[in-house]
Structure 1
């Protein structure tokens, strides 16, 4: 049958594109217009094979084989089928498992059933050589496509190249029609902010401990000559209390507790959203600013923003409606459709989308002002709902079960940036952040 099929090894295609455009094979260093990429693959395949396209198979890895945002977008596109292998972490590096086996099985099955006359392989892995040879024995013409190699490197198995019927190189000009390099991801800071306290918080650097969830060791204070040295306050096994949502250190005496409570600062000197909640509000007589200049913002972790000794929310705040309460069945369906087809899964964007829907469905606009008055704390019920929504996109946690504080920071930054626009009467600026794989 005169039809063509395209089998794409996404790890090879996007990794080689990242090497070519960004200088390193990290997919986080590129942003991909998947609709343009699929369109380009289809047009090139039909031109090269002189056959109509039957289907494009997209093979990729995902943690626990759970579709990521890009897979959700791809699998609803016409003539696209997504096949997922496992994505595992070993020795600090991510590796795909089962992708080559799935490509081999699909390749041989298509050829055996004579489902097509031509197969286009976008891969460089020599493990597919037996499948390629089997397809040729069943009378299928095999076209092997390569991505232009960076710095003259060879990025395909020579055995594959030798065995293929036709070979084509996807050069830089073709790749850049759908893929572009991005800057390394950094702090999610808005281009502008209408209130200085929002600018201060959203531009605050991420905690240096966000990657491992532990606090730095505190140097021991100087001791009198000849006296025993005080041990450094280092959390055991590198697991700080920050990742568990508890204060990073506990004062050892009641006097120290009173002093810490009086200044509104936690024992490590790293302000939490609770510490900073009074920014921009009238201060009581005699109160002093508790947040040191240039301090690092520590977002709450999986237990929420309520810490030991924190008073409960006011009835007015606790009564704010959740997004689920404001959403009809028809809107819920439309939201899912938008999530699958239009939301990229970037953490900042996810926070903005959630906040936009919440605001648009409020029957009492004054609730936005009430919420803004709680800045930078998000009411507990709404915050939990926000994080559960973000979890649909594969955000918040790594495979090693460590909380991804960068994602949490970006999600809440996007939420507050969207909330701030109606409060000040200004449109929220688009945030130029990198899309993580």
Structure 2
């Protein structure tokens, strides 16, 4: 005889839960929605206790893992106490995704727990009718089945009839503390602090209320040649363009100076020696060995920098400009940036690069203007090395448009975190 333990087992269809949460928001806000799975797990424990007043044994979350590795939500579920990630396979064909062995694994665990007497009640978070055979077997074994869904239209009516109870929740209302919209459209405004002068009027001691901080805003005048800039973003783009032109001009000037120095060394024989005589063409009948003039030393043929045929012009290879390095100094090596466990997403890579860029590559002026990079379009001087670093970290030859969007969103989020940390 099997003794059934008085406790509850929670079974969660992860794809159904996440899709319900995202679909509860407008289409424009879904790309910026962040879900706290730890809060969702805690809230489901409360729901289970409200349905059945007994302890929760465990929460099993079922999802498919792609060949590239677990994504960010799946890595989070693995480290939450009291949660087991039961993984199947996620097969991808371009934009289409299909889960394999996920529903089958959920039904198998449901039947096994029922016949082994591991629990007396099960809370099933899904709306898929494929769970009906497993629900019927568990009910026949004496387990009470409690169905939890999000919206009546997302739950199969046959599944509702097979379960003992049905609870319909609203993600926006019942899980409002587990979801947050990250607004990334605009940059963080600059915060400039200036020390306020204390009053010197007689009888005015200049005391301020406790707990308040006096902050003065300093007006910044744009340069005269920036009159055409109509916004802060235009000003940033013009500044980046000037910096790139100045860098190119400086490099060209350095190349020209090196070429001139090489040419001068080729003409001169060396320090302290006399200049090389210009060789003239003589007739075949004349004596080509000129007599040395009195008081002038004769120049030997082995002059440093001269060509074997007597010409003092340097070779073209000596005047070749310096080659730029293959890897920019703004692209870090993989070991220079912290890495998270498991497979990284473009959002994670963008956050990592933002932290490294601010602490290692940015100048003082760029750090002062880093608030411009917390939203909107990234300047080419930052966007190009960011894409190169992402291709290097993700082992991709090129990135799709969706990957680029997530990468830049991660960079914006990383810059915001750095600015809030250094405020």
Q: Normalising by the residue count of structure 2, what TM-score does the alignment of the two structures yield?
A: 0.55
| 1:176 counterpart residue number | 176
2:61 corresponding residue in structure 1: 58
- Given that residues 331 and 389 in structure 2 are in contact (C-alpha distance below 8 angstroms), is that contact kept between their aligned partners in structure 1? no
Structure 2 counterpart of 1:68 = 71
Change (3 A) 1:355 1:198: farther
CA drift of 1:166 comes to 1.6
Is 2:105 the counterpart of 1:102? yes
- CA shift at 1:91, angstroms? 8.7
Inter-partner Cα distance in structure 2 for 1:281 and 1:410: 32
| Alignment equivalent of 1:281, drawn from 215, 227, 246 | 246
Q: Secondary structure at the match of 1:14?
A: helix
Matched, 1:15 2:19: yes
1:138 Cα deviation after fit: 1.9
Contact 2:391 2:399 in 1 (8 A): no
Query: In the superposition, relative to structure 1, how do residues 345 and 142 fare at CA in structure 2: closer, same or farther (>3 Å)?
Result: same
Aligned to 2:363: 369
Partners in 2 of 1:21 and 1:388 — Cα distance? 34
Q: Which residue is equivalent to 2:41?
A: 38
Aligned to 2:403: 407
- 1:22, CA displacement in angstroms? 2.9
Match of 1:313 among 305, 324, 343: 324
Distance 1:129 1:144 in 2: 11
Partner residue of 2:85 out of 70, 82, 87: 82
CA distance in 1, matches of 2:409, 2:26: 27
Change (3 A) 1:283 1:122: same
Aligned to 2:142: 139
Counterpart of 1:159? 158
- Distance in 1 (CA, whole Å) between partners of 2:68 and 2:334 is 29
Number of residue pairs matched by the alignment: 298
Cα distance 1:189–1:182, how it changes in 2: closer, same or farther (>3 A)?
closer
Match of 1:190 among 180, 187, 190: 187
d(CA) in 1 for partners of 2:408, 2:106:
39
Native 8 Å contact 1:55 1:79 kept in 2: yes
Structure 2 Cα separation of the partners of residues 118 and 201 of structure 1: 63
Cα RMSD after superposing both structures: 4.9
Render the CA deviation track for 1:337-380: whole Å, top value 9, x for unaligned. xx67xx99572x642333424665x6xxxx54399799716897
- Structure 2 distance, partners of 1:119, 1:281, is 68
3-state SS of paired residue (2:118):
coil
Paired with 1:346 and 1:47, the residues of 2 have a C-alpha distance of 39
Shift of 1:120: 0.6
Helix, strand or coil at the partner of 1:128? helix
Question: Which residue in 2 is equivalent to 1:248?
Answer: none
- Deviation, 1:410, is 5.3
In structure 2, the CA distance between the partners of 1:379 and 1:277, relative to structure 1 (3 Å rule), is farther
- Paired with 2:150 and 2:409, the residues of 1 have a C-alpha distance of 37
CA deviation vs aligned residue, 1:295-340 (integer Å, no higher than 9, x gap): xxxxxxxxxxxxxxx984359956987362x57xxxx6xx54xx67
SS in 2 for 1:100: helix
Q: Contact 1:31 / 1:179 at 8 angstroms: preserved in 2?
A: yes
Distance in 2 (CA, whole Å) between partners of 1:40 and 1:279 is: 52
Alpha-carbon distance between aligned partners in 2 of 1:48 and 1:9, rounded to the nearest angstrom: 19
Task: Name which one, 1 or 2, has greater alpha-carbon Rg.
Answer: 2
**1:180-210 CA deviation, whole Å, 9 max, x = no partner?**
5678xx9x7634589999945999xxxxxxx
Aligned twin of 1:112:
115
Q: TM-score, normalised by structure 1?
A: 0.54
Instruction: Give how far 1:143 is off.
Output: 0.7
Q: How far apart, in 2, do the equivalents of 1:410 and 1:279 lie? A: 27
* Distance 1:86-1:17 versus aligned 2 partners, 3 A rule: same
Q: What SS does the corresponding residue of 2:419 show, helix, strand or coil?
A: coil
SS at match of 2:155: coil
The separation in 1 between residues aligned to 2:245 and 2:190, in whole angstroms, is 13
Q: 1:125 offset after TM fit, Å?
A: 0.8
How big is the shift at 1:51?
Answer: 1.7
Change (3 A) 1:78 1:369: same
Residues 257-289 of structure 1 deviation map (CA, whole Å, 9 limit, x = unaligned): xxxxxxxxxxxxxxxxxx96954736749x9xx
Task: Confirm or deny: 8 A CA contact 1:18 1:29 kept in the other structure.
Answer: no
Shift of 1:404: 1.5
